Structure 1
């Protein structure tokens, strides 16, 4: 049962680490997820503090996917919208990030 709880917490931590559009939001969600995971694994305040610090650091240094894309935008006259090609996955996206 403890393994199932640990798996659920780690999954929630991974999902929360991906949340946030700013560095502060990613650091906060990473810190909360790390603290929850650290407390669940170690069962003490020290584990929560260490996990929170590690999660906040990891959340602060990660960037959202669109920050890393060196893209050139194209204009679709029929749709009246801009789009770009993401060479890392070979897909086209509209300017707002939705798939084209």
Structure 2
């Protein structure tokens, strides 16, 4: 089995594990980090050592994706929302508040609540 297939498999697993969070920060940053890492890793791999751009790109994608996921997770923590898998709150339809970067739902009383149950002001 080639190194590229192994690293490609690892990066695919990492991307799937980071999928479908409530804010989308983890997904966006993982994808961007993997893309940037693949490009940089390919250039470095081509110019250093064996000159194997494919292996360099695969390693760069894994490292960049992991760094991107960590950055997205930190953004979730800083927003106060935390990283959660996307799911309905108490069976309610979730809506996304673009300005707050958080999900909310309508309660039975007509009020809106953040996904964590706090009253949305």
Question: What TM-score results when the alignment is normalised by the length of structure 2?
Answer: 0.37
Judging by fraction of residues, say which structure has more strand.
1
Question: What TM-score results when the alignment is normalised by the length of structure 1?
Answer: 0.44
Q: Which has the higher contact order (CA 8 A, sep 6+)?
A: 2
